[in-house]
Structure 1
Amino acid sequence: MHIKSKLAAAVMAASMAGQVSAVELGEFNGTSFSIGGYVKAEGMFTQPDDGDNSFEGSVRQSRLNFAAKRDIEGHKVIGFIEGDFWNNNTEEESSYALRLRHAYINVDNLTIGQTWNGQFLASAPVDVGAINFFGAGNGTFAGSGSEIRPDLVMHYTLGGARFTLQDPYYDDADFPDLVAAYTWRTEGGHIFNVAMSGREVYTGVYTGEDDSDYGVALAAGAKFKFGNTDVSINGFSGKGAAAYTSWGYNGAKGPATSDVNAEGELITVTGFSAGVAHQFTDKLKGIVRYGQVTADEFDAAVAFTDDDTLKSTNVSLIYSYLPQLDLGIEWRDLNAATRPPTSASSSLRPAGTQVELMAMYKF
Structure 2
Amino acid sequence: MMIRNKLALAVMVAGISAQASAVDLGEYNGTSFSIGGYVKAEGIFTDPDNDDSSFEGSVRQSRVNFSAAREVEGHKVRGFIEGDFWDNNTQDDGSYALRLRHAYVNVDNVTLGQTWNGQFFANAPFDVEMINFFGLGIGTIAGNGAVIRPDLVMHYANKGFRLTLQDPVNTDADVPDMVGAYTYRTQSGHAFNVALTGREVDTRDGDSEFGVAFSAAAKFKFGDSALALSGYTGEGNNVYSGWGYLGATGGSGVADVNLATGDLVKTTGFSAGISHKFTPKLRGSLRYGQVKADEVAASMTEDTLKLTTVNLIYTYLPNLDIGIEFRDQNAGNRPPSCGSPSAGAVCSDSSSLRPAGQQVEVMAMYKF
TM range (shorter): over 0.9
Matched residues, number: 351
8 Å CA contact 1:251–1:300 kept in 2: the answer is: no
Deviation of the 1:18 alpha carbon: 3.0
8 Å CA contact 1:129–1:137 kept in 2: the answer is: no
Distance across 2 between alignment mates of 1:322 and 1:91 = 32
The match for 2:282 among 284, 296, 316 is 284
- Letter of the structure 2 residue corresponding to residue 327 of structure 1: I
Structure 1 residues 53-100: Cα deviation after superposition (integer angstroms, max 9, x where no partner): 111000000000000000001111000000000013556322000000
- Within 5 A, what are the aligned runs for 1:183-332? 183-204=183-204, 209-254=205-250, 256-261=253-258, 262-301=260-299, 303=300, 306-332=301-327
8 Å CA contact 1:45–1:54 kept in 2: the answer is: yes
TM-score by length of 2: 0.92
Distance across 2 between alignment mates of 1:227 and 1:42 = 31
Unaligned runs of 5+ in 2: 1-5, 339-346
Cα distance change on mapping 1:227 and 1:91 into 2, 3 Å: closer
Deviation of the 1:219 alpha carbon: 0.1
8 Å CA contact 2:90–2:348 kept in 1: the answer is: no
- Tell me which residue corresponds to 1:359: 364
Cα distance change on mapping 1:153 and 1:108 into 2, 3 Å: same
Per mean C-alpha deviation after superposition, the further-off stretch among 237-246 and 338-347 is 338-347
Distance across 2 between alignment mates of 1:145 and 1:347 = 9
- Letter of the structure 1 residue corresponding to residue 14 of structure 2: M
Structure 1 residues 293-346: Cα deviation after superposition (integer angstroms, max 9, x where no partner): 000111141x4xx11000000000000011110000000011011134553125
Query: Could you say what the CA RMSD is over the residues aligned between the two structures, in angstroms?
Result: 1.7
- Tell me which residue corresponds to 2:30: 30
Distance across 2 between alignment mates of 1:119 and 1:42 = 27
Distance across 1 between alignment mates of 2:146 and 2:216 = 21
Which secondary structure does the structure 1 equivalent of 2:239 belong to?
helix
Deviation of the 1:19 alpha carbon: 5.1
Identical aligned residues as a percent: 65
Which secondary structure does the structure 2 equivalent of 1:100 belong to?
strand
TM-score by length of 1: 0.93
8 Å CA contact 2:89–2:350 kept in 1: the answer is: no
- Letter of the structure 2 residue corresponding to residue 12 of structure 1: A
Distance across 2 between alignment mates of 1:162 and 1:294 = 27
- Letter of the structure 1 residue corresponding to residue 326 of structure 2: W
Which secondary structure does the structure 2 equivalent of 1:247 belong to?
coil
